Amino acid sequence: MFRLAYKSVKHNPKRLLLTAVAVALGVALVSATLTLTNALSSGFNSLFSEIYGGTDVIVEQVAEEQADGTGSGNEMFAAGESTFDAQDLAAIQAVDGVSGAYGGLQVTATVLAAGFEPTGDLMSSGGPPTQMFNWTGEPDVDRATLIDGAGPAADGEIVLDVDSAPSLGYEIGDSVTVATVDGVTELTLVGTVRFGESNSLQGAVLAYVTESEAHALTGEDGYQQISVLTEDGADNEAVATAINEVLPDGTRAITGEAKAAEQAAELDDILQYIDIFAIAFALIALFVGSYIIVNTFRIIVTQRTREFGLMRAIGVTGRQLRSMILLEAVVIAIVASTIGIIVGYLGALGMSALVEAFSGDLFGTVTLPPDALLWSYALGSLVTLVSALLPAIHASSISPMEALRESATESKKPLKMRNVVGGAITLLGLVGIFVGLYTGVADPYWYVGAGAMALIIGVTLLAAQVLVPLAFGLRDVLTRMFKIDGKLAANNIRREPRRSANTAAALMIGVMLLALVATFTESLKTVVTSQFTQINAELFVLDTQTGVVPQGAMDIITSADGVDYVSSLSINSVEFEGMPESLVAVEAETADAAYDYDNEPDFTELDGGVFIGPDIQDRGVEVGDQVTLTGDADTLTLEVTGLYNTAEDGSFWVEWSTAEQMYEEVGVVQGLVVLDEDADVDEVQADILEQLSAEYPLVALQQPDQLAALANTFIDLILGVISALLGAALIIAILGVANTLLLSVTERTREIGLLRAVGVRKSSIWRMITIESMVMAVFGTVLGMILGVGLGAALVRALEEFGFTTIAIPWIWLIIYTVGAAIAGVVAAIWPAWRASRMDILKAIATDG
Amino acid sequence: MTTTALAATMRGGYKDYGFGDTAVRALDGINVDIARHEFTAIMGPSGSGKSTLLHTLAGLDRLTAGESSIADITITSLPEAKVTEVRRDHIGFVFQSFNLIPSLTAKENITLPLDISGKPVDKAWFDEIIGILGLGDRLTHLPAELSGGQQQRVAVARALVARPEIIFADEPSGNLDSRSGAELLGFMRRAVKEFGQTIVMVTHDPSAAAYADRILFLEDGQIVDEMREPNADKVLDRMKQMGH
């Protein structure tokens, strides 16, 4: 049996070629992703070893679970609080086996490039992120070796890493501009250092200052971390345990090795999400690919009906036939998956080389991890086998009598059964989506996901029925437009509605997801844009370094010419009923005038109380109730005096003065600047920026429409990334169109030969195939757009409480998709049309002799 | 349209298939004139080259050497696209089987050559053909819904509808029972006698060949004999001499 299957594949490789390419593409996506994340992981692993490997024991604050979600995203490198003091340092120093203990301090600062001109733009902050630490002079602790000049020995001195110094435009002896939370400081560059062995900093700037300078810049007098070196031969684990004995609560000692492993594990958790995200897209691609596989095997089985009938006649059992076809599928799966793995690996190599060229060596050695092999073969084989199953079962039911029949066309079963099943599945899918989106059931994603899946399959089945009258209607139009070529093309689509529908549906899936994302992002853009138009303020103040605008900057802005008032807003973490929540402080008198908040009543009615957001309202808290809120300074019990109605904006809303009682410090996260009536926005903006540039170059000052444009750029970027990831699925779908046509052309060899004999030109044959291809592509795209926009609209509607008020239909994208589909149709037709038009007339019309 | 009495000619026609040891000479110096308004049959045993002669005369295949013409157009020197146009404008075809496009109705199949060239259908002529071939009530049917004889009649109607210079038929009655076959050949003969159509037909069936005005006998790629005013017995005798 295997020999037969193998020979069959070998004998007719062309008809399986595109099927194999489809599988290979999906598999390539899997293997490329896994290879890249593996390389990324190994790259960061070696980074963590460099950071922590030299230190024997690290003493640090025990990381608290990030509570409020307001922290910066880059927790891994962010400066923590300074928990340790000189006494702790001395205590650790005294522990047996410790040869040295060094207090470590990280400074939140940005080294500005030489000649940096602030623009007030949110996106053009000072440059690459800076990691600034105190210099101990101990290489194992500093993780850096002096290359040139000297280490910082006195206040006012700084060293930079060897790559950053020239790229920022500084030489030893130059004055380096450093922006910190409190303003700008000038430090003298006295030397350069190399981080670890190869200075691989993943694009960051590394800087060191003296300990006292670090204390001055941070305004702290302790240490965030203590690095411990042990005596030769000491057991680091034992030393760490001993140190733990003398440490205050909430801190711990851990060996450098263990710390590196801990960080690597944390990163791997994040990378796992990237894997899942990318594999989801690979699965979509393979799902689309499965349509092609089903179609290919169906057509092949039909074309080989006589062959199978003959085999049945000479005594091959139905089961043997079935195994033979499944074996063919296995052969394809193995070959295609192998090619896919290789292509994916090469793609990953290219990608890492590309990234390296632009932003340094982010990746470790790029090797093909075993799980990439496993997943690739597993997914490739599974998809191929499952897809070949139905056609194989069909083949096994072929009767020996079929061998004697004249023509080999798919049996003209009526579509009734298909329609009934398709209708039922479609309905089921719609119900699933409805339940998931609107009834507030638990885990709605499962309902929506399963519903969408059912909808796709249902519509695929129904599409065959739609195609028949559609092609019938199109026949007249196409005949008028393209004469006989158009008529024949329309006939061909109608002839095999199942085949045409499955082919179009493969494209439908990809386009559906595109249209869904486009509808969602378009609506999101509308929401964002309308949010910025609700602002009565002319300017926005934000900080690009820490997220908190320095008070000195606020003072400059408030007193600037043309500024009427600034309404500030602060976001803080608060504890409520044992759970971390967000608390927003507003300047009650001016807030409602500056921005159209979704509150009821106005903030002026706060009256020392608190407004509550939807998630708190959902917990049964009502106006008039008392809530107890804990900040880092004090716990207050406040009366609920109003409501805030947009979800995710904030759980609690209080007056600025209330927040000041609860917190040690209330920083301005966002300032809304309202100008005098006769002031010119551009002038005031330029004027304030000029005043800020000396001391606060990293404060952003932008007009609402500038921010809206920025937000829209981000949204477009997300749309772009997702579209690119769907690219594989779309390419596979287009291959599917080509594949179906290619097999149909083979099937219609004699018909095409006849047309050529009676005088139809090659160009006409070409045009006929192209029209057929375009109709299928555009049909699939239109179906996909209808489903995608529909699902997108349903999704937007379900998110109404998050401020999604309008459903925006991305018309421009829909037009682009349609035009793209037509072009794709032309492209997909190239190979089949080329084959059809150069078909040997004599062979085509040859009868038996 | 034409200035001579010849619908098709071939001079010194050679056709080789394959190369070297496997080379086969299918046509070996053919000189033939096909007169207008005549029904010519080409006969010969299997492998005699009769189908090759038909294909090269009709511009479906190219000669290795020599030249041939249709309606005074020398097609051997024309590029493929031009030959296609000659076929479209001057030639009708009737094959043994698979004559019709399965997705087109009988009527659409008949008017196919006119649709291809964008010429209008001569309604009176169309009706006349349909009447003679008895296809009036079958026009909206798809080929799959027609009997073998009806399918071949549709093919003949298609060949006739554009009034081509010449019709080539390759075993047109080969797949039909004897009654339907006789009917079909009768129609073809009428087309020659009543409408002055020119037909060249390849067959190995003596009784089919007997419908022709003239029979060319082919053997090993050469024309070995010619017979005028044939009848089935004479043809059978001649075939027996050729080793049949």
pLDDT, tens digit, 9 for 90 and up, residues A551-568: 888 888 888 888 888 999
Tell me the β-bridge partners of B65: B14
What per-residue confidence (pLDDT) applies to A77?
A: 38
**Cβ atoms A239, A230 nearer than 8 A:** yes
Residue A127: the pLDDT is 63
Q: Residue B11: how many CB atoms within 10 A of its CB?
A: 16
pLDDT-derived band at A402 (thresholds 50, 70, 90) equals low
Please enumerate in sequence order all residues whose Cβ is within 8 A of that of A351, keeping only pairs 6 or more positions apart, or say none.
Answer: A32, A36
Q: Of the given ranges (A77-86, A487-496, A644-653), which has the lowest mean pLDDT?
A: A77-86
Retrieve residue A394's tokens: 């069909």
Check residue B157 and report its DSSP letter. Answer: H
Return the higher-pLDDT residue of A359 and A16. Answer: A16
Helices (H) and strands (E) in chain A, counts: 24, 22
Whether A172 contacts A153, CB under 8 Å:
no
**Which residues of chain B lie closer than 8 angstroms to A491, CB-CB?**
103-104
The pLDDT tens digits of the residues spanning A329-358 come to 888 899 999 999 999 999 888 888 887 776
Query: By mean pLDDT, which of A297-301, A571-575, B203-207 is the weakest?
Result: A297-301
* pLDDT value, residue A343: 92
Burial of A230 (0-12, 13-18, 19+ CB in 10 A): buried
The arithmetic mean of pLDDT across residues A218-225, rounded, is: 83
Contacts of B87 in chain A (CB under 8 A): 757-759
A491–B89 CB contact, under 8 Å: no
User: Does A812 have pLDDT greater than 60?
Assistant: yes
For residue A488, list chain B residues with Cβ-Cβ distance below 8 A.
101, 103-104
Subunit contact A488:B104, Cβ cutoff 8 A? yes
Q: Does B84 touch chain A (CB under 8 A)?
A: yes
* Residues A152/A213, Cβ–Cβ less than 8 Å: yes
Of B61, B98, B108, nearest to A842 by CB-CB distance is B61
State phi, psi for A505 to the nearest 5 degrees.
Answer: -65, -30
Measured distance CA(A760)–CA(B91) in Å, rounded: 12
Asked if the Cβ–Cβ distance from A487 to B88 is below 8 Å, we say no
CATH of the structural domain B38-48+84-241, one choice from 3.40.50.2300, 3.40.50.300, 3.10.20.30, 3.90.1150.10: 3.40.50.300
Which residue of A752, A758, A768 to mutate against B (max B Cβ within 10 Å)? Answer: A758
CB contacts, 8 Å: A495 with chain B: 102-103
Residues A758, B87: C-beta atoms closer than 8 Å: yes
Determine, for residues B115 and A483 on separate chains, whether the beta-carbon distance falls below 8 Å: yes
**Are residues A762 and B87, on separate chains, in Cβ contact within 8 Å?**
no
Partner-chain residue, chosen from B46, B55, B116, that has the shortest CB–CB distance to A759: B116
Strands A599-600 and A539-543: unpaired
The confidence score (pLDDT) of residue A848 equals: 41
Q: Min CA distance, B44 vs chain A (Å)?
A: 13
Search chain B and give the residue with CA nearest A483: B115
B145 reaches A (C-beta below 8 A):
no
Residue A204: Cβ-neighbour burial (10 angstroms; 0-12, 13-18, 19+): middle
Q: Is the pLDDT of residue A388 over 80?
A: yes
Q: Are A179 and A695 in contact (CB under 8 A)?
A: no
Do the chains contact at B112 and A758, CB–CB below 8 Å? Answer: yes
Separation CA A826–CA A807 (nearest Å) = 33
Q: What is the overall mean pLDDT for chain B?
A: 88
Q: What is the pLDDT of residues A735-786, one digit of tens each?
A: 889 988 988 888 888 888 888 888 888 888 899 999 999 989 999 999 999 9
- Residues from chain B that touch A496, judged by Cβ atoms under 8 A, are none
Work out the average pLDDT over B92-110.
86
* Residue A424 binned pLDDT confidence (cut-offs 50, 70, 90): very high
Confidence at residue B204, expressed as pLDDT on a 0 to 100 scale: 87
B33: confidence class by pLDDT, cuts 50, 70, 90: very high
Predicted local confidence at residue A72, as pLDDT? 34
Closest CA to A766 of A778, A758, A777, A774: A774
Residue A410 has pLDDT above 60, yes or no: no
- In angstroms, the Cα distances linking A731 to A21, A510, A725, A736 are 10, 9, 11, 9
CA distance A758 to chain B (A): 6
Give the pLDDT mean for B136-150: 89
Work out the average pLDDT over A586-601.
Answer: 84
Q: Where are the domains of chain B?
A: 38-48+84-241
User: What pLDDT, on the 0 to 100 scale, is given for residue B212?
Assistant: 93
Kind of pairing, strands A157-161 and A183-195? Answer: parallel
Mean pLDDT of B145-162: 91
Min Cα distance B113 → chain A (Å) is 7
Decide if B209 contacts B179 (C-beta within 8 A): no
Condensed to tens digits (0 to 9), the pLDDT of residues A150-208 reads: 889 888 899 998 888 888 889 899 899 888 877 788 899 999 998 877 777 767 888 99
Tell me the two tokens of residue A597. Answer: 């908040």
B50 in contact with chain A, both atoms CB, cutoff 8 A: no
Check CB contact of B81 with chain A, cutoff 8 Å. yes
Cβ contact B112–A484 (<8 Å): yes
- Name the pLDDT band for A75 (thresholds 50, 70, 90): very low
**Mean predicted confidence (pLDDT) in A40-51:** 80
- Is the pLDDT at A360 greater than 80, yes or no? no
What's the pTM value of the predicted model, to 2 decimals? 0.76
Residue B244: per-residue pLDDT: 52
Q: Distance between CA A203 and CA A74 in Å, rounded?
A: 14
Contacts of B97 in chain A (CB under 8 A): 847
Confidence of residue A79 (pLDDT cuts 50, 70, 90): very low
Residue A76 has pLDDT above 50, yes or no: no
Residues of B in contact with A845 (CB under 8 A): 60, 95, 98
Strands A635-644 and A626-630 turn out to be antiparallel
Residue A292 backbone dihedrals phi, psi, to 5 degrees:
-65, -40
Question: How distant, in Å, are the alpha carbons of A53, B63, B64 from that of B77?
Answer: 83, 10, 12
The residues that bridge with A157 in the sheet, in sequence order, are: A188
Give percent of chain A with pLDDT exceeding 70.
Answer: 92
Nearest CA in chain B to A750: B98
pLDDT at A41 over 90: no
Residue of A3, A19, A11 whose CA lies nearest to A323: A3
Q: Which residues of B touch A750 (CB under 8 A)?
A: 98
Please name the member of B46, B92, B115 whose beta carbon is closest to the beta carbon of A484.
B115
Band of pLDDT at residue A81, cut at 50, 70 and 90: low
CB spacing of B84 vs A761 below 8 angstroms: yes
Contact A488 B96 (CB under 8 A): no
